[in-house]
Each structure stands twice: as structure tokens, then as C-alpha cells.
Structure 1
């Protein structure tokens, strides 16, 4: 079948960006670097005031962003059980992960909301400096136990990590109504919990023992390809979990912010970003019509060799940028993105 190029989502107005910003993204909740290339990919969450979500590509060299056009095609064999093609008109891209398959070839894993709750997969090619993306299939997110611990509920995935053996890891909790103040209050007070779940084509989904945390959110694979870092947002903590142990290791706690995504940077260090101030306000703003959530934010750097950490950014939000949800070390700079806004904020990276 001939692949058809799908319509790309509309980008936000670029505005007047200085040296410390990249404009043209939409609600870039997460970011990943395509190793060995000039490209960074960001997610784009749909929501009030922005309409459609999608994916965006940023050239590191020129620091320019543009919507990433997605070609529609039949799913790959490994994901042929995906129930239907991706509905780009309803697609809202959340957490990201990328696996390098060969020279100039990658698989992008995306937590998708909108038409369905699923991990959406995309084949990415970067030959001759050109970026090409095609939809490659999906893995639906499973149902989970509801707030009462018994009643099945729709699973709401947040972060995803590609595993070296071809599997997938996600953080997942019961789906909630972010527009309902009472539900948000319960989340902010720490009543909501979730787990890390693992998927393999031969066995399907299973819950990783010892991975249940309050406000489970970000997820990133350690360099050994086995252990995982997990952020527990309402606990203000970061844990390390492993399929080989049912006992999590807490590597950071009593943080002065609510950790969101965790990303491995070009310098070999992990970076966790998140909101300071009331978590309730951050969640309500994320799903409001506000152009920017102006809350303060912070970034923690984690050394994977020693599991020690230090704060490297603490900043106030403003009319251009607030509430960083991802921090990615790109060369000698630290790029920050947010679930609400139209730009990437750039800080000079601190020395070691």
C-alpha cells in the first residue's frame, strides 16, 4: 500500500524569540533527542485553546521548530494487533521515548490520548539530514484497578520507555477528570497511585512488582538497560525500580518541587523537571485555556553512576514560559519544555 502523507498539526505563532527560546511548538510536555542527528522531537498535547496535538521536530543547529508530518501506513508486523489506524485529528501526544534501530533509523514511542489510550509507534528516518516519520502501529494501554483498588478503570498512561529486548515500559494510573476540582484535589493530596507496567509481544502487559507510587509520572531507562528511574510526583521523590527486585530504591526525596519527566542528556546525566508551588494549581492550569502556566519550576540533575543529585535550575514563570515538565541537556545547553505553551526555554548548562 502506498503511504499517504497525513496533515500536520498547526503550529503556534512563533512570536519574537530571543537566543534563550525556540518558538513554534505546541504544549511540548516531553522531548527526546535522536542520537547522532541534528533533531529533537517534542510531543504536542491537545487542549483548550490549541485544538489538535501532534509531534514537532526541532533542528538543534538552527534552533527552529516545525510540525512533524506523519505518513499513514499499515502497522508493522510486531504491532499488527493494533485495532485501528491512528486518528491524527484526535491525536494528543504526551510522553516520549526513542530507540535507535540502525544508522538513520529510529522507532519513536508516544503515549497517545484523544481517540484512544495507547502507545503509538512511529518509524523515523533521518537519511541525508531529512526527517521522515510514518505511523507503525500501537499497543493499547490496559485497564487498571480503580481508586477503590478493585473496580476496573480506564488506564491513563503518562510516560514510556523503550526496552532493549523490544518491550515497552509505561507509567499508568486510573484515568481521571482533570476538569473536576474534587478529582484534582484528591490527586494533589496524594490519594492517587499508579504503577510501572511492562509489555512484550509474546506475553502482553504485566505490572512491575514494587513500582506502585503516589502520583506516578516520569520514567527513564538507566544506561544498564535494565533499571528504571520513576518520578513519584505527589511524593516529591524519585525511585529506581528493576524487574529483578520487588524493592524500590529511593534516590531523591523531600524535593522542593513536583518531579515530572526524567531525561538522559548529552552529558550522560539525568535531568528531572517539574513545578514548584501548589500541584493543584499546576494540574488545573494544564487543562485550562491559559496560554502559559506561570508557576515557578525547578530542574534536578542525577548522576547515574553515583545516584547523587543536585538542583541546577530554580526559576519563576512568566508570560512566555512556566512550569517546565521536561529538561533535556542538548550540547552545552539545557532545554526546558512545558505542557502548556508555545516555546522551549534554553538555559546555559551548569559546569560539573
Structure 2
């Protein structure tokens, strides 16, 4: 994981760094087999819950060596944040999470884009259903939430009162009740781009970003078209950043960008001051631009 200084436009390695700090919370994460191998750990889908006195909890989708949600404490009370691994929740056998969200009580919701044994290429052609899984402190492991039957569920976010959760399903953003089973509440129309991650802005709007998938310079996606992940990732596409009103599901475009061979595959956006910071699933850099 990397630490980005938005003011200086610089980065440094946050974890594992020169020494990976680990102190397992065995009361909450006793079923976790121990800290991940830092040499194998691959992270994405970060979700942070702010705490008191500069301390927060960071939840990370982890691959490489094992499939798990990795949990870290973050101490930002000093001049530089310090990250300590505190536990994990293993994913069920054969499942790989994409994104995670955490409730105040420590409950985790994780999106699972693919059924066991299936590939992205198969999902693109067969419209395979994914799922949302839940784990709460004291549970033996993740269990599937009945209700959502989404196509390639991706980003996930919670309402401020935790009564609803939102996921990206295909090219739409969908709202569900945070009940068991979950009930479909409302959804956007299919968007003109492929939304990916979801983040709740300070104004209560859901923020998402993604590529324009139907782009003539790149291969067709979906239907009977053969899908190559390598070809998909290596063909630059324009991107769009949008805000979604979670109460009305009205979508408002707030930024866009052209196809760029240096930065492509946009998947997420975070507002930082007067700037938008845009991430990618297949790039060696982060983009930023003015919000205006």
C-alpha cells in the first residue's frame, strides 16, 4: 500500500515498508491464521472508518497468498501515519472479493463479482450473477446475503445511517435495504460508462468513475464477443466521473477525460480539496484534476 501526499503530489510506501507491523486482535479476529506474507500481498478495494484521536481502521481486499479481507489500524496522530495489521476475515473457498464496506460495529459487507470457478471472460459473455457476503464479529465466516442477484457486483458503500447499502451492478448503481434478506429499493438507469468503485462524498452523494466501454478504437465487450482481459486493459478508453443521488438515483456527470495511453482504466474517484483524484486498476500512477 502507498501513502500519497496530495499537497506535494508525492508518494511513499506505507505497508509493509521497511518493517511490517502486526498485532493481531485475537478477540475479534481469532479465526484469522495470522498476518499475510508482505511479499505476496496484493491489495485494493480500501475502506476506512475514522476513529478518535487520529486513529482509524482500514479494511482492505487482499489477494496474493490468500483471499481475505485484511484489517489494519491507522495511527495518524504523528507527522506520518503508521499502519499496523490487526486481523483478517478469510473469504469462503473459491471466492475472491472485489470491494468491502464496514459498519460501525465491525460488520463487513463484501462484493463477490464471480461465482466459484468462473472467469471474467465467462461473466462478460454469460451474464453470470455475483453476490454480496456479510461477516459480523463472532461469526465463523462470511455468509451470502440473500436478495441481491447482481451482475458482476463491484463497488459497495453504506448510507450514513447504515440502513441501506449501494453496489455497482453491471453499468448501474443499485440501492438495497440493509436487512436480511436485502430488498431492492431503487436503481439508476444503465450509465454511459462502466462505473466501478463507490465512495460517499461529504455532501451525501455517491461518487463513481469508470471507462466508456463502447469505444470504437477498442474491442467490443459483451454479447458474443470474445473477451481478453489483457487486450481490454491495454486499450486506452475515455473515462467519466459522476455523482449519484442515493435518494433519487439521479446521475450527474462532474468530470471526464479522453483516452490517454499514459493513464487509462479509471475505476475510482476521491475529492481532495479542490481536486478530484482518480485511480486505475491497471496503471502505475494516479491522476488528479481540478474539480471545476
With normalisation by structure 2, the TM-score equals: 0.86
Q: Distance in 1 between matches of 2:87 and 2:148?
A: 27
Assess if the C-alpha contact under 8 Å between 1:156 and 1:174 holds in 2: no
Matched, 1:174 2:124: no
Q: 2:172 aligns with which of 233, 237, 259?
A: 237
Tell me which of 229, 232, 257 is aligned to 1:284. Answer: 229
Task: Determine the structure 2 residue equivalent to 1:68.
Answer: 14
Name the count of aligned residue pairs: 276
1:175: Cα distance to partner? 5.0
Residue 304, structure 1, aligned to residue 246, structure 2: yes
Question: In the aligned structure 2, how far is the partner of 1:168 from the partner of 1:218?
Answer: 14
Q: Distance in 2 between matches of 1:282 and 1:324?
A: 19
Measured after TM superposition, the shift of residue 301 of structure 1 is 0.6
| CA root-mean-square deviation | 2.3
Q: Distance in 1 between matches of 2:134 and 2:290?
A: 36
What residue number does 2:2 align with?
56
The answer (yes or no) to whether the contact 1:258–1:279 under 8 Å persists in 2 is no
Please give the alpha-carbon distance, in whole angstroms, between the structure 2 residues aligned to 1:133 and 1:254: 39
Counterpart contact for 1:282–1:295, Cα < 8 Å: no
Give me the whole-angstrom Cα distance separating, in 2, the residues matched to 1:105 and 1:228.
25
Is 1:118 the counterpart of 2:68? The answer is: yes
In structure 2, how many angstroms separate the alpha carbons of the residues matched to 1:226 and 1:294?
Answer: 38
1:287–1:140: structure 2 CA closer, same or farther, 3 Å change rule? farther
Measured in 2, the distance between the counterparts of 1:176 and 1:219 equals 23
**313, 322, 326: which one pairs with 2:268?**
326
Which of the pair is proportionally richer in strand? 1
Q: Is the 8 A contact 1:73 1:134 kept in 2?
A: yes
- Which residue in 2 is equivalent to 1:147? none
- In the alignment, the residues of structure 2 paired with residue 279 and residue 109 of structure 1 have an alpha-carbon distance, to the nearest angstrom, of 31
Q: Aligned pair in 2 of structure 1 residues 62, 75: CA closer, same or farther (>3 Å)? A: same
Q: CA deviation at 1:176?
A: 5.3
Tell me the distance in 1 between the aligned counterparts of 2:126 and 2:197. Answer: 18
Q: Is the alpha carbon distance of 1:207 and 1:110 closer, same or farther for their aligned partners in structure 2, counting shifts above 3 Å?
A: same
Q: Which has the higher contact order (CA 8 A, sep 6+)?
A: 1
1:33 corresponds in structure 2 to: none
Measured after TM superposition, the shift of residue 266 of structure 1 is 4.0
Residues 1:266 and 1:283: Cα distance change in structure 2 (over 3 Å): farther
Matched, 1:108 2:58: yes
Paired with 1:348 and 1:306, the residues of 2 have a C-alpha distance of 27
Cα shift at 1:305: 4.6
Write the deviation string for residues 215-259 of structure 1: whole angstroms up to 9, x where unpaired: 1111011122231110012xx111011233632133212211111
Q: How has the CA–CA distance of structure 1 residues 266 and 115 changed in structure 2, closer, same or farther, with 3 Å as cutoff?
A: same
Contact 1:335–1:347, Cα closer than 8 Å, also in 2: yes
Give the SS at the match of 1:238. strand
Per-residue Cα deviation, 1:286-317 (whole angstroms, up to 9, x for no partner): 897x5xx5122222211235432212233222
**In structure 2, what is the Cα distance between the partners aligned to 1:265 and 1:297?**
19
- 2:183 maps to which residue? 247
Maintained 8 Å contact 2:186/2:249: no
Distance across 1 between alignment mates of 2:126 and 2:256: 24
The aligned counterpart of 1:133 is 83
